[in-house]
Amino acid sequence: MISNAKFSLLKYLKYFVFLLLAAVIAVAIYGAVLKSDYEFQRSRIIKAPAEVIFEQVNDFKTWENWSPWLEKDPTMVTSYKDTASGVGATYNWKGKDESGFIKTISTTPNKEIMQQIDFGKGHVAEVYWNFNEVDEGTEVTWGMRGKISFGEKFYWLLKGGIEKNMIPIYDSGLQLLEQHIITELEKHSFEAIGAVDYGGGFYLYQTVSCQIQEIEQKMNEMFPVIVAYMAKNNIEASGKPFTLNHKWDEQNNTAMFSACIPVKERVITTAEVLTGYLKPQRTFKTIFKGDYKFANEAWETAYAELVAQGFTEIPGAEPFEFYVVAPNDSKNPAKWVTEIYIPIK
């Protein structure tokens, strides 16, 4: 006969099995009724042109500079296939806890990027990026949507839900992206080339006197007038735009300069736009890369290097600078290239 103690134990064991079975059934029913579809997105306004942000997101190799997953797991190993940028680009990763891949499906330059991502959990999700320029900069929206399988529901249920896990990562990623882009925009450099012979030539120009802080505004007003005049009269440019500095008076905060565009030969013009000639001369050349807010530092470096290399500026000479890569060529100021020429003996 079964003792009372054993009978009680079997009774409790039976109740435990029933409760466990009931719990499993309840979880299964709960999982079955959970929504399979999901979508979430995060947004952040970054003080940078959409073109600059788009370039960073569109190139998977730059993700190593701001990826929230790499920050979370520095040991993560990444790899790329034939291309890392644009449609068809792929990015694979393998970390301590998970691995996966992402692929770019379509792009609308500076507006939208569509991607597919697989976290190795059994389904492929859709990732989307939207870039919307606003007064403060660019509103960047990063989102993901997809449909999880029945089995994945329990995986994410145990982890508290896919949104609970992914939203903090997306928030961190946008913050890291902003920090990286701000750092990129600040990059600049000065390279003293040394003495070079400038060949000279004709140019069309307008001249103005203004306060030093008004120089950029005046340039933005004058160059379009010259360009429009050349288009109207079928005149082709023979080089990059440049400015010719006539006077620079920091004590009185004034400057006098000409906005110029090179042409192949002398042009008979009206009073609106004039023709000038820059004679061949020996100059000290410096290449400045970066935002124009570093221009004063660039010129100071150019003059310091000129003296350090044993050259002397011609008294009363008019230095000039060519805009090899300008804002019209790239919205990224770190890519702007300016060549500084100082006439020397």
Residue with more model confidence, 154 or 293: 293
Measured CA to CA, the distance from residue 183 to residue 188 in angstroms comes to: 11
Inside any domain, residue 126: yes
* pLDDT for residue 26: 43
Nearest to 323, CA basis, from 209, 230, 232, 227: 227
Burial-class residue 205 by CB neighbours within 10 Å (0-12, 13-18, 19+).
buried
User: Does residue 11 fall inside a structural domain?
Assistant: no
Judge if 202 and 160 occupy the same domain: no
Same domain, 119 and 50: yes
Give yes or no: residues 171 and 197 share one domain. Answer: no
Residue 125: how many other CB atoms lie within 10 Å: 20
Query: Which segments of the chain does DSSP mark as H helices, in order?
Result: 4-33, 50-58, 68-72, 150-158, 162-185, 215-232, 295-308
Q: Is 21 a member of any domain?
A: no
Max Cα-Cα span within the chain: 124
Secondary element (H or E) of residue 325: strand 320-325
Q: What average pLDDT does this structure show over 308-336?
A: 96
For residues 284 and 154, membership in a common domain is answered with no
Per-residue pLDDT tens digits for 180-227 = 999 999 999 999 999 999 999 999 999 999 999 999 999 999 999 999
Residue position matching structure tokens 């029913």:
29
- Domain stop point among 155, 185, 215: 185
Residue 46 lies in a domain: yes
Is the model's pLDDT at 298 over the cut of 50?
yes
Query: What's the rounded Cα separation, in Å, for the pair 287 and 30?
Result: 66
In a domain, 302, yes or no: yes
Separation of alpha carbons 289 and 204, rounded Å: 25
CA angle 81, 84, 88 (to 5 degrees): 80
pLDDT band for position 94 (50/70/90)? confident
Cα-based distances in Å from 237 to 89, 257, 266, 338: 38, 20, 12, 18
pLDDT tens readout for residues 17-37: 455 554 444 444 444 445 667
Whether 249 is covered by a domain: the verdict is yes
38 pLDDT above the threshold of 50: yes
153 & 228 share domain: no
Length of the chain in residues, anyone? 345
- The average pLDDT across 104-128 equals 90
Structural domain that includes position 333: 189-343
Last residue of a domain, one of 140, 164, 185: 185
Q: Look at residue 24 in the predicted model and tell me its pLDDT.
A: 47
pLDDT > 80? residue 152: no
Domain stop point among 185, 219, 236: 185
pLDDT at 70: 86
What does the pLDDT average to over 36-45? 89
My answer on whether 218 and 339 are in the same domain is: yes
Domain count, the chain: 2
Is residue 2 a part of any domain in this protein?
Answer: no
Domain shared by 70 and 173, yes or no: yes
Together in a domain, 53 and 168: yes
Whether 231 and 168 map to the same domain: the answer is: no
Say if residue 287 is in the same domain as residue 221. Answer: yes
What does the alpha-carbon distance between residue 63 and residue 77 come to, in Å, rounded to a whole number? 13
pTM of the model: 0.81
Sort strands 124-134 and 137-147 into parallel, antiparallel or unpaired.
Answer: antiparallel
